[in-house]
């Protein structure tokens, strides 16, 4: 995934890299991309220098995380497309994505382009993601479970919006709010 292999890492190096990655994942998910590197290093029990040895820049760190996360999502989408009824598969994935928004602040910020430009940095993954979603969408539309006029881009935008709703929350009922959007995606009366 991270491409460059070079030479196998020393045991302690590998351990530290993993600790940093795991910690960063949790921290970014919980508090967003704004958390300082020093803080992540501290929580991972390593020095800041160690973080920078493994990830040349802060951006590289959360890229590694987001790429991983997106790959997961793409796989899930493909599985759903292969194993589940069209409408069901589409809406299951939709829920999955919006739920991710409630849980993973870092991912939301990344998807919304707050921290970096996904398409510029990992066009392949962005592409794979869109393709997987296209398949789900077109199957669902073919089965009459989703209005025929929405595009993949529309769906992605709706997902980002729903993630914002989840995260923003307020006094509203998440389930009902999402229900409204899902209802809107169904074919007209």
Kindly state the smallest distance separating residue 4's Cβ from DNA, in Å.
13
Query: Which of 30, 45, 148, 187: binder of DNA (CB under 7 A)?
Result: 45
Stretch that binds DNA, among 32-40, 101-109, 113-121, 172-180 (CB under 7 A): 32-40
Task: Find out whether 165 and 178 touch, Cβ atoms under 8 Å.
Answer: yes
**By CB under 7 A, residue 2 contacts DNA:** no
96 or 130, CB closer to its own copies?
A: 130
As separate numbers, helices (DSSP H) first and strands (DSSP E) second, the chain gives 10, 0
CA–CA–CA angle 75, 26, 74 (5° rounding): 10
Note the residues at the interface with its own copies (CB under 8 A). 112-113, 147, 149-151, 153-154, 156-158, 160-165, 168-173, 176-177, 179-185, 188-189
Query: Which of 9, 148, 153, 180: binder of DNA (CB under 7 A)?
Result: 9
Residue 145 Cα distances to 45, 140, 142, 155, angstroms: 50, 5, 8, 14
Query: In which residue are the tokens 């789900």 written?
Result: 136
What the block records as the tokens of 7 is 């030479």
Kindly state the smallest distance separating residue 187's Cβ from its own copies, in Å.
10
């Amino acid at each position: 995934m991270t491409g460059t292999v070079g030479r196998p890492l020393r045991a302690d190096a590998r351990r530290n890299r993993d600790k940093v990655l795991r910690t960063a994942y949790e921290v970014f998910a919980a508090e967003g991309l704004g958390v300082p590197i020093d803080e992540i290093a501290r929580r991972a029990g390593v020095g800041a220098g160690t973080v920078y040895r493994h990830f040349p820049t802060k951006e590289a760190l959360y890229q590694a995380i987001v790429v991983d996360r997106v790959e997961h999502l793409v796989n899930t989408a493909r599985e759903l497309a292969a194993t589940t009824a069209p409408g069901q598969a589409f809406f299951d994935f939709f829920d999955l994505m919006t739920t991710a928004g409630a849980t993973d602040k870092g991912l939301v910020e990344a998807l919304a382009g707050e921290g970096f430009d996904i398409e510029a940095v990992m066009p392949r993954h962005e592409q794979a993601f869109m393709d997987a979603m296209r398949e789900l969408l077109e199957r669902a539309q073919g089965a009459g479970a989703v209005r025929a006029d929405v595009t993949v881009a529309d769906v992605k935008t709706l997902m980002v919006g729903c993630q914002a709703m989840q995260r923003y929350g307020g006094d509203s009922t998440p389930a009902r709010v999402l229900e409204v959007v899902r209802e809107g995606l169904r074919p007209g009366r």
